[in-house]
């Protein structure tokens, strides 16, 4: 499906970067968005009743390659991304070897380019080997194009290393973002779910809410002191949202993300010991979930990121305390957000696209992505049918099937995804 010219007819175009929400035709020619004069002779795709938006951008994806190809590969992970409407993903650094030097950055990006399904922006480790001790060679990785650094999965163990990293990053000619997984290691040691009445009854050791609050407060204090640029991964508690809200009001340079699963589930859903709902940070209370929804709607939380965390079947079909934490999310994210937030009127579709495309593209420095969908721009976009209803079940494009949403019926499905004018998904199926 590499038609040189395509016109999407009669789509509702949601383009936060261009400030538009209108029904119109979108013409693509030679890999770029084109003007209506180029529609002549183009392949026509009936998009009436559908949403057309800039391709989604995931700030938090685990592609697992190199090192953990039994869970996911760059090819299967980027195929899952395309099926979910994504044209760019940030690949987390907890690979083996760790992405703590430029060679791995190049390797991951080359694998993605060869697959041609979705652009990949490798995230660099903040510390060597994710050990929280010595800084990784950030400067070399910046020269290789890295804009976001994170030891994700491992919370930075002490404020000194964060302080040094935020300070060191001032030397770079481009803005570099440091992203932290905010859970205090001593408080969550041995824990498997949110600490509360449900964990007490299930006999599962808890990961208390204050483990997140403490690190968010600590990181914000360090960001204030250094003037550095901080990003907080997958917030899960109401008080963390409050802390970020007041930090922003104060002018601290911080952004924050939330996952579709934290916007959907609560700790009560763990009563069946479903290991697909075991995540770090854990699923929390109804009040926390509602505060995350509120923070997303009012802009305190900037980004919806999936934390797509594929695992092999045997790593999830195990006892709860030994099963691996995390859920896949790329293929379900936009439908979950539509079903849980947009359709019930909790979030506008414009705000959703902003949080899933425009803003993460800006944070990543992915200037080809996130819109605006204007003539001359790269044709990175996706087409979404908000009427379609489907049930989440294998097979997935991802190599993994550990979805927290298994069995749920969702509204809205991705019909087409286009990367630089090439359809990576057509008729809801990956084309390659």
* Active site positions, annotated: 307
Cα 318 to Cα 325: distance, rounded to the nearest angstrom: 11
Contact flag: residue 196 with another protein (CB under 8 A)? yes
Stretch in the footprint of another protein (CB under 8 A) among 38-46, 258-266, 312-320, 371-379: 312-320
Contact flag: residue 269 with another protein (CB under 8 A)? no
Backbone angles phi, psi at 169, to 5 degrees: -70, -10
Among 48, 106, 160, 271, contact with another protein (rule: CB under 8 A): 271
Contact 32, 379 (CB under 8 A): yes
CB of 313 to another protein, least distance (A): 9
Integer-rounded Cα Rg, in Å, for the chain is 20
Cα 401 to Cα 11: distance, rounded to the nearest angstrom: 32
Contact flag: residue 321 with another protein (CB under 8 A)? yes
Among 320, 343, 375, 426, contact with another protein (rule: CB under 8 A): 320
Residue 165: both structure tokens together: 């990293």
* For another protein, the closer CB: 171 or 313: 313
Q: Where are the alpha helices (DSSP H) in 169-278?
A: 185-188, 197-202, 209-226, 238-250
Among 135, 144, 202, 346, contact with another protein (rule: CB under 8 A): 202
Contact 397, 310 (CB under 8 A): no
Report whether the peptide linkage leading into residue 29 is cis, meaning its omega lies within 30 degrees of zero: no
Residue 408: both structure tokens together: 């749920």
DSSP assignments along 138-182, one per residue: HHHHHHTT--EEE-TTS--SSHHHHHHHHHHGGGSSS--EEEE--
Closest to 194 (Cα-Cα) out of 211, 217, 218: 211
Among 318, 407, 429, 432, contact with another protein (rule: CB under 8 A): 318
Q: Which of residues 322-381 bind another protein (CB under 8 A)?
A: 322
Interior angle at CA 259, CA 70 and CA 235, nearest 5: 115
What residues pair up with 418 in beta bridges, in sequence order? Answer: 381, 423
Q: Which residue do the tokens 């359809």 mark? A: 423
* For another protein, the closer CB: 250 or 317: 317
Among 19, 41, 203, 345, contact with another protein (rule: CB under 8 A): 203
Biggest CA pair distance of the chain = 66
Stretch in the footprint of another protein (CB under 8 A) among 27-35, 198-206, 256-264, 339-347: 198-206
Contact flag: residue 314 with another protein (CB under 8 A)? yes
- Strand extents, DSSP E, 211-279: 230-232, 254-258
Contact 155, 126 (CB under 8 A): no
**Binding mask 116-145 vs another protein (x if CB under 8 A, - otherwise)?**
------------------------------
Q: Which three-class secondary structure state does DSSP give residue 15?
A: strand
* For another protein, the closer CB: 32 or 205: 205
Contact flag: residue 286 with another protein (CB under 8 A)? no
Among 31, 69, 167, 273, contact with another protein (rule: CB under 8 A): 273
* For another protein, the closer CB: 186 or 387: 186
**Binding mask 16-55 vs another protein (x if CB under 8 A, - otherwise)?**
----------------------------------------
CB of 201 to another protein, least distance (A): 7
Closest to 307 (Cα-Cα) out of 59, 76, 141, 26: 59
Residue 181: both structure tokens together: 């997984």
Stretch in the footprint of another protein (CB under 8 A) among 59-67, 91-99, 269-277, 334-342: 269-277
* For another protein, the closer CB: 201 or 249: 201
Q: Which three-class secondary structure state does DSSP give residue 108?
A: helix
Among 133, 317, 374, 393, contact with another protein (rule: CB under 8 A): 317
Tell me, by CB under 8 A, how many residues bind another protein: 20
* For another protein, the closer CB: 195 or 385: 195
CB of 225 to another protein, least distance (A): 31
* For another protein, the closer CB: 316 or 377: 316
Q: Which of residues 156-195 bind another protein (CB under 8 A)?
A: 195
Q: Which residues bind another protein (CB under 8 A)?
A: 195-197, 199-205, 271-273, 314, 317-322
């Amino acid at each position: 499906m590499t038609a040189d010219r395509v016109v999407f007819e009669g789509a509702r175009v949601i383009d936060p970067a261009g400030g538009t929400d209108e029904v119109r035709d979108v013409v693509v020619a030679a890999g770029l968005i084109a003007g209506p004069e180029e529609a002549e002779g183009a392949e026509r795709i009936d998009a009436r009743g559908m949403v057309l938006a800039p391709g989604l951008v995931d700030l938090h994806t685990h592609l697992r390659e190199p090192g953990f190809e039994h869970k996911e590969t760059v090819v299967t992970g980027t195929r899952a991304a395309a099926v979910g409407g994504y044209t760019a993903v940030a690949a987390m650094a907890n690979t083996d070897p760790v992405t703590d030097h430029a060679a791995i950055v190049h390797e991951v990006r080359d694998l993605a380019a060869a697959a041609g399904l979705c652009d990949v922006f490798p995230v660099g480790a903040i510390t060597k080997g994710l050990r929280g001790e010595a800084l990784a060679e950030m400067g070399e990785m910046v020269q290789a194009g890295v804009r976001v650094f994170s030891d994700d999965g491992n919370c930075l163990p002490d404020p000194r290393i964060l302080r040094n990293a935020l300070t060191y990053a001032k030397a770079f000619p481009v803005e570099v973002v440091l992203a932290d997984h905010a859970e205090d290691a001593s408080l969550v040691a041995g824990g498997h779910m949110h600490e509360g009445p449900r964990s007490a009854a299930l006999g599962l050791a808890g990961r208390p809410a204050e483990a997140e609050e403490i690190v968010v407060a600590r990181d914000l204090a360090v960001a204030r002191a250094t003037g550095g640029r901080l990003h907080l991964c997958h917030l899960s508690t109401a008080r963390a949202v409050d802390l970020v809200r007041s930090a922003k009001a104060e002018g601290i340079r911080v952004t924050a993300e939330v996952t579709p699963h934290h916007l959907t589930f609560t700790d009560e859903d763990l009563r069946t010991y479903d290991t697909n709902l075991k995540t770090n940070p854990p699923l929390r209370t109804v009040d926390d979930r509602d505060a995350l929804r509120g923070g997303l709607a009012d802009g305190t939380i900037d980004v919806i990121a999936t934390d797509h965390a594929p695992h092999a079947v045997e790593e999830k079909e195990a006892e709860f305390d030994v099963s691996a934490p995390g859920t896949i999310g790329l293929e379900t994210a936009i439908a979950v957000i539509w079903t849980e937030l947009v359709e019930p009127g909790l979030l506008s579709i414009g705000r959703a696209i902003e949080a899933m495309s425009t803003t993460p593209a800006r944070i990543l420095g992915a200037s080809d992505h996130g819109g605006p969908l204007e003539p001359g721009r790269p044709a990175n976009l996706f087409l979404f049918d908000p009427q379609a209803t489907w049930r989440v079940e294998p097979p997935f494009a991802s190599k993994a099937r550990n979805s927290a949403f298994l069995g749920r019926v969702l509204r809205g499905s991705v019909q087409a995804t286009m990367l630089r004018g090439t359809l990576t998904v057509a008729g809801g199926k990956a084309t390659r």
